[in-house]
Amino acid sequence: MNMKTIGVIGAGQMGNGIAQVCAAAELDVVLRDLSEEALEKALATISTNLDRSIKSGKLEAKKKQEILAHIYTSTDIGALVGCDFIIEAATESIDIKQCILAELESVIAHDAIVATNTSSVSITRLGATLKNPDRMVGMHFFNPVPVMPLVEIIRGVRTTDSVFRAATTLAVKIGKTPIAVKNSPGFVVNRILVPMINEAVFVLQDGLANAEEIDAGMKLGANHPIGPLALADLIGIDVCLAVMEVLYRDFHDSKYRPARLLREMVDAGQLGRKSGKGFYEYGQMPVV
């Protein structure tokens, strides 16, 4: 498939990162969100990311405007009509994603590929929303998208070989390393990673140590580059909870039950870096 124009739905933390790496690979991008404010914020974030790359010597200054010129923003779902490949990167809610997919299918070409950047939701179940579920594939990027090299390519029951290959090809084109994953709750990385984070929250909840000590223990004792609670703040505590809820629901196994403190923090709006406060306050004071 000759992919020239990539649609990205959702201009949040993941969506703007996906738009950035696609544009940096000289692909035209249509970034769609419901609000102009979200789109403006996304472009500002991309601009800041590119400035950081210029400052570090990873990007030539003249390349910044070339990359930004590849990104077109719109609040209109109809703007995606000419896209060859669309990546949905909305909130980790199956209801929201299904609504978006149903709306999307009414405007895009019959042979356009539809991918979802879900971290845990069934690709097969999302694909069933489409009249043609064969064109549905999972592309799970990791945060921050411009930095993290991995993309999980997830095949649903109906995903065709050609669609799976196209998603893999796109991942390589934008400088990522793809791994092939079967459709299963949490896929590979989050099935291992998020329960570990959840266990760290249980340790904090039980008062065994404070957040700084837990993170120092895993960095110095397990050679992790970042502690599990600081990582939860980076991922988004709401995303961690959503993944645990999917694992708990779909596996019917009590080992996947979300920690009470994890749910409490989401209820309190303490979602991590994106809200300014999670297990740490940004400036870096642990919540104990």
* Non-local CB neighbours of 39 within 8 Å, separated by 6+ positions: 11, 31, 33, 73, 74, 75
* Distance between CA atoms of residues 97 and 88, nearest Å: 8
Provide the annotated active-site residues: 119, 140, 152, 190
- Residue 73, CB-side half-sphere exposure with 13 Å CA sphere: 21
The pair of structure tokens assigned to 45 is 């974030």
Can you give the length of the chain in residues? 288
* Non-local CB neighbours of 47 within 8 Å, separated by 6+ positions: 64, 68
CB neighbourhood size of 99 (10 A):
13
Q: With CA atoms as reference, report the closest residue to 178 among 156, 208, 155, 157.
A: 155
CB neighbourhood size of 171 (10 A):
22
Residue with tokens 């700084």: 212
